[in-house]
């Protein structure tokens, strides 16, 4: 049996990059102090979300914890090594002259073990059009942490269940946990966020970790907050409020995933 304590970190992102990085590190510290072994920050946690702002957030991914600490990925790597945990979160990656919405994953030694580039770029209600400046990712990403398989997704990916089946029991990158760092809009999140997290859990019969950027009424386009961890049965195990730095922490286990999949063997019935 694999058991893992997971933390969805909610961050109220400001225009002060240094403050964002400092508070991100502090929240990882707090999650680790509460026993979390896998810690996930939101999408684009280094600066305010916005297509016109992404160029200012760009960074090369840190390879390990020895990287310069002025980037989001370096903060993740250093915190992972400091606490012996797995850490991830969303940054704007610059690679070969192109920008990607990327979720790097750092292992307990601070080394980069995986990186997921967002496949479904947001294009919502004329508010955001990520594809104007970002490149599309091209593959599903999964890795193991504490005997638990974790599959990565990001925000708008939650609206595409066919693609998320890649993390299902018969998929190309099967997972016990789907982790989806997000900067989910409040205008849609009020109606859709909780439903999408729970549907993803039910469809994949997997735990879902959904860290989201906190609500800020002063934003031109406020985000939704309410970061959460959901069980394979669709139960909300832990959830943050809307507008503050916070942690949603819960224990996940492969036994619970197996139990749910045995009760409802959907992968078998779908054939």
Burial of 162 per CB tally in 10 Å (0-12, 13-18, 19+): exposed
Q: Per residue of the chain (271 residues), what is the pLDDT tens digit?
A: 899 999 999 999 999 999 999 999 999 999 999 999 999 999 999 999 999 999 999 999 999 999 877 899 999 999 999 999 999 999 999 999 999 999 999 999 999 999 999 999 999 877 889 999 999 998 999 999 999 999 999 999 999 999 999 999 999 999 999 999 999 999 999 999 999 999 999 999 999 999 999 999 999 899 999 999 999 999 999 999 999 999 999 999 999 999 999 999 998 898 6
**Number of Cα atoms under 13 Å in the Cβ half of residue 148:** 27
Domains (range + CATH), the chain: 3-265 (3.60.110.10)
Question: What is the three-state SS of 149-200?
Answer: EEEECCHHHHHCHHHHHHHCCCCCCCCCEEECCECCEHHHHHHHHHHHHHHH
Radius of gyration of the chain (CA): 17
Q: What residues act catalytically?
A: 43, 118, 155
Asked if 193 contacts 226 with a C-beta cutoff of 8 angstroms, the reply is yes
Q: Residue 1: its pLDDT value, please?
A: 82
Burial of 96 per CB tally in 10 Å (0-12, 13-18, 19+): exposed
Q: Residue 144: its pLDDT value, please?
A: 97
Distances (CA, A) of 122 to 127, 132, 233: 9, 10, 28
Report how far Cα 153 is from the mean position of its chain's Cα atoms.
7
Distances (CA, A) of 109 to 63, 210, 241: 11, 24, 32
Q: What is the DSSP string of 48-90?
A: ---GGGHHHH-BPPPSSTTS-TTSHHHHHHHHHHHHT-EEE--
Q: Residue 68: its pLDDT value, please?
A: 78
Q: Residue 271: its pLDDT value, please?
A: 62
């Amino acid at each position: 049996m694999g058991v893992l304590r997971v933390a969805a970190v909610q961050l109220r992102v400001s225009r002060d990059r240094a403050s964002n990085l400092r508070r991100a590190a502090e929240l990882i510290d707090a999650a680790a102090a509460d026993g979390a072994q896998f810690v996930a920050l939101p999408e684009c946690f280094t600066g305010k979300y916005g297509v016109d702002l992404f160029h200012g957030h760009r960074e090369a991914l840190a390879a390990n914890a020895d990287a310069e600490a002025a980037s989001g990925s370096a903060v993740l790597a250093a915190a992972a090594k400091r606490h012996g945990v797995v850490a991830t979160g969303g940054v704007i990656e610059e690679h070969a002259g192109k920008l990607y919405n990327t979720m790097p994953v750092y292992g307990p030694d601070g080394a980069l073990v995986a990186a997921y580039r967002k496949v479904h770029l947001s294009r919502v209600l004329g508010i955001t059009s990520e594809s104007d400046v970002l490149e599309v990712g091209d593959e599903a990403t999964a890795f193991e942490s504490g005997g638990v398989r974790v599959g990565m997704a990001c925000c708008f990916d939650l609206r595409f269940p066919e693609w998320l089946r890649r993390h299902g029991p018969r998929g190309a990158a099967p997972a016990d946990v789907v982790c989806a760092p997000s900067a989910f809009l409040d205008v849609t999140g009020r109606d859709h966020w909780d439903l999408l997290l729970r549907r993803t859990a039910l469809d994949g019969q997997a735990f879902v970790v959904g860290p989201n950027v906190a609500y800020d009424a002063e934003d031109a386009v406020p985000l939704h907050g309410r970061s959460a961890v959901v069980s394979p049965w669709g139960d909300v195990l832990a959830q943050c409020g809307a507008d503050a730095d916070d942690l949603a922490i819960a224990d996940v286990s492969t036994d619970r995933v197996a139990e749910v999949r045995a009760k409802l063997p959907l992968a078998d019935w779908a054939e």
